[in-house]
Structure 1
Amino acid sequence: MVRNRAPGAAFAPDPVSVVDTLHGRAVPDPYRWLEAADSPETLRWLEERSREYEREAATWPLRARLASLIRSLVDTDLWSPPVHRPGAAFATVRPSGTEHPRLVVLAGDGPPRTLYDPAEEDPGGRTTLDAWEPSPDGGLVAVQTSSGGVERGGLRVLRTGTGTPAGPPVPEVRYSHVAWVPGGTPSFYYVRRDGGQGVRGVWLRRVADGAEALIHTCTASGTVPGVRVLGRRWLLVTESHGTGHRTDLWLADLAADAPERPVLRPVQVGAEEETEARLGPDGLLYLRTTLGAPWRRICSVSPEEPGTEHWREVVPEERGATLDAFAPCPGGPGGGPALFVSRTRLGISEAAVHDARSGAPLHAVDLPGQGMVSAPEAAPDGSVYLGYADVAAQQRVLCLPPGERVPRPWPPGASGERDSPAVERTVLWCRSEDGTRVPVTVFAVAGGGGPTLLHAYGGFGRPRQFGFSATVLAWLLSGGRYAVAHVRGGGDAGREWHLAGSGRAKPRAVEDLVAAADALVSAGLCTRRQLCLSGGSAGGLLVLAAATARPDLCGSVIASAPLADMARFERMGLGRMWTREFGTASDPDDFAALMSYSPYHRALDSAVHAPGRRFPSVLLAGFHGDTRTDAAHPRKMCAALLAAAREEGRPPVLLRYERDVGHGPRAVGRAVGLAADAHAFAAHRTGLSPR
């Protein structure tokens, strides 16, 4: 490590820089001191950035109007699909005008009864309900909460009848799966992803006294454990390997094994394939898998002999549409089993019911529009409950009874549905630098145009699905256009599309976004000044990489909770889990790819070799409690951009920084404030005028 003077040192408490030598290359890092989130120097620097931000934000004419419009669009009763237990159904609802969802119980024809409300526990709004799971008989519910946005909190068991604790809580868990042991003394399996008692894996816990037993230890570093109990008999343990496509699965028979000593037999172990398993009403295991099917297919197998050599294909893959969700259910021919299947084609869901024996489609499901299906689950009566939303309509819960084609609203009489504006959707195709055709979906309402938000994510194989966003709808209603680039690295065109834009190929995702921006301008849909790139997390990395590679590409950029320093991303947040997606700086070839697009280092290079280069105006959003990407990324990126564009009159570089929130869910008011500010910034920079 070498210390020397470097450009941009005016933003440091001590005018020196850190320079690392990696694979024979000098890598400057003058703002490493900003990784210390609570140091006096960082806090003073953040106070200065906050003053700059508020001065600039006060000049945005649409700030208050967008906040009011977005709030009006989200003020509906928002339900989750129900989970049924004997005599009752459990769900969450966020009533109109409230800040957080609450857990409720519905029994008979009576009104919902609140079992847990985070607002009652924490009137300040910092606590969120992260997950919940009722016991098989519905008498107990495991509830997970966290506070301050850190996504790591406590797991407790509540009595359904009274809401009182039923045993000691489990501290320090992060989005744990909970699987209740059927029958016997109340106990459940749960997972520790971050290491419990020095071990990551699956644990069995007795409710009454908190006694625990480790039943599975993770087999490799960087894996995420999971656990489910299927059909009140079969224990399913899974390990997802980082963010790649490998899932290992084991199955144990709780009818034959003691809960604390299950004999786990491999279902699929060691294969670079992604698989999800569910139990059908016929007792067979149904598996949604990429094994032999990059767009995913469904196979079936007996849980008695679950190895891959016994798998039988039921629903084949369909090229062009990712099979992203399914639910075994009754309703097949002659009272046999059926499969509810949803696929995503360029962000739009389509659904059908198939015969689980032959795989033949029985009938299509008539969805309310062109939107997104989520979380389908079968109820004991054979109905399938699912979430549905589209660009113009807030999420609602639908119930599809056996044999029917048209799902019904749930719960009956639920409020929140309203007339939706007509939103036009078109698809524009562009050619990336290597000749690959990349689709771009464009939304507008009649008469909209000009100022355009171009969004991209392009990470972890996730297909872009077009559900509801009050922010997007507010932008469209204000006269703007909204576009999404389906870049490589996402899952919009199957597994190969992801692999073609991940690891050492990640620069292809950046090139795809650049091509999409150029295509929008070439098609006359907007000018460069009217174009604002927008992305969060891995998408924030993408838009910053594109803008620092092509400063003339657009007029402005919004990057929320982005990755930015790709030489050190493994040392911050959950970066160590993402080496399958981005590569590792310890490998010389991976390192070369990372540095070819690392936005932080591109900005630092401009500060040295092209001081005053005119980058687009940039709004960075950072969250102090972010335990995923870590707020050090937007802090350091802001400092580097300020150093690169330090002349008077240059476009602004702004950091909107929040405490007591993180990467995940937050109170509605804070979510509205962030969304309104980001899009008021975009409106100001692109010239969007209110209608």
Structure 2
Amino acid sequence: MRLDCNEPPLKIRNPASHIVKYPATLKCDQTDFLHGTRVADPYRWLEGDVREHADVAKWVQEQNELSDSYLQGIAERETIANRLRALWNYPRYGLPVKKGGRYFFEYNTGLLNQNQIHVQDDLHSDPVLLLDPNTLSEDGTIAVASWYPSPDGRYLAVLLQDGGTDWRMARILDTRCGEFLDDTLHWLKFTGLAWHPAGRGFYYSRYPAPGSSETFQSLNTNHALYFHAVGEPQEQDRCIYSRPDHPDWGYAAEVSDDERYLLITVWKGTDSRFQLVLQDLKDPSSQPTMLVEGFEHDFSLAGSRGSELFFRTTFKAPRGRLIAIDPNRPDRSEWREVIAETSNVLTAVSCVADKLVVQYMQDARSLVSIHELNGGFVSNIELPGIGSAVGFAGDAEATETFYSYSSFATPATVFRFDVGSRRSSVFKRPSVDFDSDDYVVQQRFVTSADGTQVPMFVAHRKDTELDGANPTVLYGYGGFNIAVTPEFSIARLVWMEMGGVWAVANIRGGGEYGEDWHKAGTGLQKQNVFDDFIAAAEALIDLKYTSPDKLAVFGGSNGGLLVGAVTNQRPELFAAAMPAVGVMDMLRFHHFTAGRFWVDDYGSPDDPEMFPVLLRYSPYHNLRPGTDYPAVLITTADTDDRVVPAHSFKYAAALQAAQAGDKPILIRVETRAGHGAGTPTDKVIAEYADRWGFLLRVLDFRLPEQFVTADGDSATAGL
């Protein structure tokens, strides 16, 4: 029987815990019958928006008070926070974008909540502050999500993000005076901005305005592509392309580097399968016309030369290849192969100075090479080591491009690459107060349940002894064709300074080995993802890095689902789990905001074939009362409209009720924050101080003597 959860619910108390006493959590008699199966959902009432439902707000407040009391009671937490602040306080630079002869780039002095945008006239002139988002709000929660200089550099269009939400507001800055124009565009989501070649306006995508109570929870449908003319109100923006007959379709616009074509990429989910629509900007009578029909393959515009457009694609190449399409001869039989598929994954291609810069991924690390326009190999770009290189944007007139390189023990350095001489030089190098030579990064391969070899990176201090006693964090994602590659993080560095081992498992579901690797971790095969992660955990134990009482698992979003699922399946294997902004209810995820897009990876609960598969691993539905679960710190945010916080709320309530052991089950709910992007620096530092402090206590280890605070005091003081 289905009852309204607003009716007076039953009160229950959770099993007694030797460490914490949980607040009383309400239950309701909510039952659904799905495909003939009775499914209880006693915490359905926690799906209410915390801003609209007082009972949900009260529950969140009580849970936060409990978590705050526990975390603030960890004496070493402030020591960890001080070290995080000290190391975080270093200048950081983003990749420059050259427009109108000037270089635009992001910059952070160290502890600014949001990155500033600077501009400099040439490579040797002093940078000038153009926009400081930290002045846009008192609490630092308004961020520049992305920014786009006009072709002549006169304007800077920015997408502003308030409180971490996926909703964006577009503004235009006049770079001559540093002031915003009156132009203000609302209800943009899942969009970039593409300037018209003349610089008189830009293309963008938006949804209809939601109802006042639906902003952060309602499904997103009826995306449409618009053109905004500089100086005009949004009400006069012209709709360029929409398909009301397909309300689930979305649109992304870009202008070819020869400025002739507007390319509209049509998508309908998270799967990289697109339709392409083209409009000739040189022909005033031209209308958007279908170039590639059918959601079958990935297509990413790499550049244009002569009459052809270059696309990186998975068409007849699951690891990617480069093809050329002539819009005047769009039939597939006319498509020309430029660079064939290889054993490595082709991740990106750009056309710079009549050369092709080709980016590959080999075993989850970067390889970059230069090719002629006909595809002929010229040379490799030498990278500093095992790490990740990103960037390499450019156009036909450019003679240079920029890229950023980082690894687990190497902060992101921005390089300038001269295409003619094929030489790299440092554009901006950060200085961080640590010695990278003190750390070691290795890549190992582990054997999953079905014999698949799964790569895993392991990083730690060189003086770490492999005695099976090291506190270890195993991180994973495993979904949506997203590859987890080596990158630098102050938070991870501090964890390793604390004596911890950091491990990353490149499990199936990601994009590390192309489309086949991705598909092997989706839908009916999702259990492969969990098996791979469990195999990585067991390998860390077998290799004497750690032991079950010192091993923690960590992941966010789809990675939060991963952590919840493996914790349910193998609770004895882990001492702690930290699911962040996770997808925890696999039977109702498609009812909220962007959740409907995820059926590409997960399958739909409405599908009778997928329903039992989803029910079998759904973290919320597979908690077994009376089980001794690991210590769990769940994190989410009240403005997360990507994975609504109800997932974490319901999971936390059910896990607290099911826990039979003495390990704490805590949920930390951040305010004025979303899914992660745009979170202010001070909130990020506080969250990691809580995470590492939590692990220090539940994994039962001490900070090493060499771990120092920003003041240089012994980190063991107060123990």
- Name the structure 1 match of 2:710: none
1:256 is aligned to 2:283 = yes
Amino acid at match of 1:566: M
> What is the 5 A alignment of 1:412-427?
419-427=435-443
Cα distance, 1:406 vs structure 2: 4.0
Match of 1:361 in 2: 377
Q: How does 1:98-247 map to 2 (within 5 A)?
A: 98-108=112-122, 109-183=124-198, 186-192=200-206, 199-210=222-233, 211-218=236-243, 220-230=246-256, 231-247=258-274
The aligned counterpart of 2:40 is: 28
Q: Which residue of 1 aligns with 2:62?
A: 48
Pick aligned residue for 1:372 from 385, 388, 412: 388
CA shift at 1:265, angstroms? 3.0
The whole-number CA distance in structure 2 between the counterparts of 1:416 and 1:381 is 32
Q: Is 1:352 equivalent to 2:374 in the alignment?
A: no
Work out the CA distance in 2 between the residues paired with 1:500 and 1:660. Answer: 37
Letter in 2 for 1:624: D
Paired AA for residue 169 in structure 1: T
Match of 2:683 among 655, 666, 670: 670
Whole-angstrom CA distance in 2 between matches of 1:175 and 1:634: 23
Aligned mates of 1:206, 1:557 — CA distance in 2 = 50
Structure 1's 70 and 405: CA in aligned 2 closer, same or farther, altered over 3 A? farther
Hey, what's the Cα distance between the residues in 1 that align with 2:205 and 2:639?
22
Distance (whole Å) between structure 1 residues aligned to residue 458 and residue 26 of structure 2: 47
Q: Tell me the distance in 2 between the aligned counterparts of 1:550 and 1:194.
A: 44
Change (3 A) 1:399 1:281: farther
Are 2:506 and 1:480 equivalent residues in the alignment? no
Question: Letter of the aligned partner of 2:174 in structure 1?
Answer: R
| Structure 2 CA distance for aligned equivalents of residues 418 and 427 of structure 1 | 22
Q: CA separation in 1, counterparts of 2:28 and 2:209?
A: 37
Q: For 1:20 and 1:83, how far apart are their aligned partners in 2?
A: 53
How far apart are the structure 2 equivalents of 1:85 and 1:207? 18
Tell me if 1:63 matches 2:77: yes
Aligned mates of 2:79, 2:409 — CA distance in 1: 19
Q: How does 1:225-624 map to 2 (within 5 A)?
A: 225-230=251-256, 231-258=258-285, 262-280=286-304, 284-319=308-343, 321-330=344-353, 337-357=354-374, 359-378=375-394, 380-411=397-428, 419-448=435-464, 450-603=470-623, 606-607=624-625, 611=626, 613-624=627-638
1:560-603 per-residue CA deviation (whole Å, 9 max, x = no partner) reads 11110111111234211111111111111111111010010011
* Structure 2: distance between partners of 1:434 and 1:192: 44
Question: Which has the larger displacement, 33-42 or 246-255?
Answer: 33-42
Q: Which runs of 5+ in 2 are unaligned?
A: 15-22, 212-220, 705-719
Query: Structure 1 residues 287, 513: closer, same or farther in 2, change over 3 A?
Result: same
Determine the C-alpha separation between the residues in 2 that align with 1:570 and 1:522.
Answer: 39
Structure-2 change in CA distance of 1:13 and 1:381 (3 Å): closer
1:71-86 aligned at under 5 Å gives the runs 71-86=85-100
- In 1, distance between residues paired with 2:284 and 2:336? 27
Alignment TM-score, normalising by the size of structure 2:
0.88
Specify whether residues 666 and 485 from structure 1 end up closer, same or farther in structure 2 by C-alpha distance, changes over 3 A only: same
Query: What secondary structure sits across from 2:689 in the alignment?
Result: helix
Q: 1:653 aligns with which of 662, 665, 674?
A: 665
In 2: Cα distance, 1:194 partner to 1:620 partner: 33
Pick closer, same or farther for the CA change 1:515–1:640 going to 2, 3 Å: same
CA apart distance, 1:457: 0.1
Q: Which whole-Å deviations, capped at 9, do the CAs of 1:131-161 have from their partners, x for residues lacking one?
A: 1111111111211102111121310122111
CA distance in 2, matches of 1:464, 1:546: 19
Aligned-pair distance for 1:118? 1.1
SS in 2 for 1:270: strand
Query: Alpha-carbon deviations, 1:236-279, whole Å to 9, x = none?
Result: 11012311131111222111135xxx422333220411110132
Counterpart residue identity of residue 270, structure 1: G
Contact 2:577 2:632 (C-alpha < 8 Å) held by counterparts: yes
- TM-score normalised by length of structure 1: 0.92
Question: In the TM superposition, what is the alpha-carbon distance from 1:545 to its structure 2 partner?
Answer: 0.2
SS of the aligned residue for 1:17 comes to: coil
**Is the 1:559–1:621 Cα contact (8 Å) retained in structure 2?**
yes
SS of the residue corresponding to residue 169 of structure 1 reads strand
Is 2:11–2:27's contact at 8 Å kept on the other side of the alignment? no
Contact 2:91 2:107 in 1 (8 A): yes
Gaps of 5+ in 1: 331-336
In structure 1, give the amino acid aligned to 2:132: D
The Cα shift of 1:70 comes to 2.5
The one-character-per-residue Cα deviations of 1:84-114 (angstroms, maximum 9, x if unpaired) are 1123122221122322111222114542222
2:103 alignment partner, one of 89, 109, 123: 89
Match of 1:2 in 2: 2
* Distance in 1, Cα, partners of 2:497 & 2:368: 29
Q: Does 1:683 align with 2:700?
A: no
1:403 alignment partner, SS class: coil
How far residue 283 of structure 1 moved from its aligned partner, in angstroms, is 5.8
Q: Following the alignment from structure 1 to structure 2, what is the Cα–Cα distance between the partners of residues 503 and 8?
A: 36
Q: How many residues align?
A: 670
CA contact (8 A) 1:154 1:173 kept: yes
Distance 1:690 1:636 in 2: 34
C-alpha separation in 1, matches of 2:363 and 2:72: 38
Q: Contact 1:620 / 1:638 at 8 angstroms: preserved in 2?
A: yes
Find the counterpart in structure 1 of residue 639 from structure 2.
625
Q: Deviations over 1:487-546 (max 9, x none)?
A: 111111211111111112112211211222122222322110111011000001001100
> Which residue in 1 is equivalent to 2:715?
none
Structure 1 pair 196–544 and aligned structure 2 pair: CA distance change class (3 A): closer
Match of 1:334 in 2: none
State the one-letter code of the partner of 1:346: D
Alpha-carbon separation, structure 1, partners of 2:239 and 2:435: 52
Distance in 1 (CA, whole Å) between partners of 2:179 and 2:538 is: 58
Structure 2 partner of 1:333:
none
393-402 vs 633-642, which moves further: 393-402
- Residues 60-102 of structure 1: per-residue CA shift (max 9 Å, x gap): 3542233223223332222221111123122221122322111
Question: Are the aligned partners of 2:148 and 2:193 in contact in 1 as well (CA < 8 Å)?
Answer: yes
Note the C-alpha offset of 1:34.
Answer: 0.9
Q: Alpha carbons of 1:175 and 1:202: their partners in 2 closer, same or farther (altered >3 Å)? A: same
